Structure formats: C-alpha cells, structure tokens
Amino acid sequence: MKVDTKDTVQRDEVHGDEVQTECCAPLTDAPIDDSVAAELARTYAALADPVRLKMLSLIAASGEVCSCDFVEPLAKSQPTVSHHTKILAEAGLIDGDKRGRWVHWRVRSGREDFVRRVLGAGSD
Amino acid sequence: MKVDTKDTVQRDEVHGDEVQTECCAPLTDAPIDDSVAAELARTYAALADPVRLKMLSLIAASGEVCSCDFVEPLAKSQPTVSHHTKILAEAGLIDGDKRGRWVHWRVRSGREDFVRRVLGAGSD
DNA sequence: CCAATAGATCGACAGATGTCAATATGAAAG
DNA sequence: CTTTCATATTGACATCTGTCGATCTATTGG
C-alpha cells in the first residue's frame, strides 16, 4: 500500500455518505512530504536539549540576554554556551546582536508565538 | 554578575500596567526549571527525526495505521519501524493497539491538538 | 502439535551530538 | 601597541542515535 501525497489522498467523502468521524477523524488531510519532514526535524532537533530550552526560556523571560549571563545559570562552560547559541540561531529561533564585546540574544522576530508555544507545550 | 552596558537596556518590568514595550516584552514570565526542560527536551527529541514525523503524519492523516503499513512508505526495515514507534509511544504521542497479529497505532487521546500543531509548525 | 507471520529485541556499526580545555578572533581600555 | 575581556573555533573524547541482519516472541491457521 503506497501512500502518495499527490492525488491518492482519500477523504471521507469518497467513501460515500458514511462519514464516520467518531473514532478515526484524520488530524491532517495528508501526510507531510520528505522536505517538510526534514525541515521540521531540524527545528525540533534544536529544541531537543534541556540546555537550549533553558536558554530559550531565559531569553523569552528577559527579552534579551547576554552570552556571558548564560554561563552561570546553565552551569556550562563558555564554549558550550557558544555552541548552543549557534544551534538555536541556525535553527532560526534566536538572533544575536553584537554590541561592543557583548552579544545580546533575543527571540527572532516573527518567531515569538512559536517559542512561547514551544516552552509551554506541557500545558495544553 | 549583571552586565550593565552603557547603552542601558531599558526594559520595563512586566506585569503591572503595560508600558509600551515594543521591542523587549517578555514572552514568558519566568524561565523554566530543570525538570520541565528535561521533559520538554524528551518530547522534542521524539520529533527530531524525519522518519518519525512522517510516521506521525501518516497516523494523523489516517486515524490509525498498522505497523506493517509503515515499512513501504517510509522505506525502512521492520526493526527500524519498530524502533521509531517505540520512541513515539514512550514520548506519549501515540498508542499501540494490538489486535491479533497486528498493532494499530493512533495519536494518543488528548494529544491530537499538539500533534496537529507540531506537524504544521511551518505555517503559523 | 507444527508452520507461517507480525512485531519486538539484540548486537553491531557508522555517524551525530554534548562537553570542555586550549586557542584564535576581535573589540575596548590603558 | 599591548593588554584584557567576551566570544568563536578547534580538537578530542564519551555518549547517544539511526540503521539493519539475525533472532526471539506471540498469535493464527493447519
């Protein structure tokens, strides 16, 4: 049985009038394709680490956080902090603003809702 | 150790009356703690693989999918499919229902909204 | 009972990932 | 220019993860 995202997707209507949405109503109309899956996986991979989630929440709670202020609350070395900020930035979740010797991190413009939802996913 | 730059980041402290904080309004009221971060990270780790995302979307689109019907569309071996279903199940995202020799997988009750949102995260 | 089949588990392996010490880069201060 | 400080990068290491062949388990049908 091959599932094709193109035109093989059958909705309930094609089976006639018996649209039973009681137990098996689909959550989506079609399975996602490979490129979308790869892109989403990359985003979630950036969120799949407790250190990065704490980073994100620190940024989200303060609006803006300097790299140097991550080391102590996260109990991680400076290179490790730098490594994680890079991953979050490459995933398009945060942006760094270098002012003088310091880099200030903030949630990327347009991603605030996503970040908010991501950090509160336990309660919905 | 706070870094007070000369160009002061004037961030109006939250929750009272909202002064206009166009640029730095916090997205959350407080950083998440370690146990929450660990739990969330575990959930997102389950979503950080394109094969598992396709699995989830196949289940979400069909309401229910037999393990045997994953092998072909995912182009993965049976042990690999079993490995991924286990991870999704342990993350609390899907449940398996063994009927005879077959196991039918569906989105865990109560997690439908989360799964729907997760699979459409690119478009919000 | 035995044979066939769906799925789970095991063992092995390559590649990815988190971590930190050492070092490099780049900007401010003396 | 030299020093100092905040970050980035490199290199090394241990651990984790995705994958599959082989095998085990459990259920159905003779």
pLDDT at residue number B41: 98
Which positions 69-108 on chain A have a beta carbon less than 7 angstroms from any atom of strand D?
78-79, 81-83, 85-86, 96, 101-103
The pLDDT mean for chain B works out to: 83
Question: For residues A60, A64, A67 and A69, what is the CA-based torsion angle, rounded to 10 degrees?
Answer: -80
pLDDT at residue number B2: 36
Residue pair B54/A32 in contact (Cβ under 8 Å)? The answer is: yes
CA distance A104 to A94: 10
Global confidence as pTM: 0.81
B118 or A25: which carries more pLDDT confidence? B118
The single-letter DSSP state of residue A77 is -
> A69 contacts in B (CB within 8 Å)?
1-3
Size of interface A-B (CB pairs under 8 A): 170
Assess whether pLDDT exceeds 60 at residue A8.
no
CA distance B119 to A76: 32
Retrieve residue B76's tokens. Answer: 């993965």
pLDDT in tens, B39-92: 999 999 999 999 999 999 999 999 999 999 999 999 999 999 999 999 999 999
CA A1 to chain centre: 32
pLDDT (mean) for B4-33: 52
In angstroms, the separation between the Cα of residue A22 and the nearest Cα of chain B is 11
Test the A interface: residue of B6, B32, B93 with most A CBs within 10 Å: B32
The sign of the CA dihedral B60, B95, B33, A39 is negative
Give DSSP secondary structure letters for B91-112. TTSEEEEEETTEEEEEEPTT-H
pLDDT in tens, A48-92: 999 999 999 999 999 999 999 999 999 999 999 999 999 999 999
| Conformation bin of residue A92: beta by default, left when phi > 0, alpha when psi is -120 to 50 | left
Asked if A64 lies within 8 A of B3 by C-beta distance, the reply is: no
Q: Give the amino acid at B68.
A: C
| Residue B116: pLDDT band with limits 50, 70, 90 | very high
> A9 contacts in B (CB within 8 Å)?
61
pLDDT (mean) for A8-18: 36
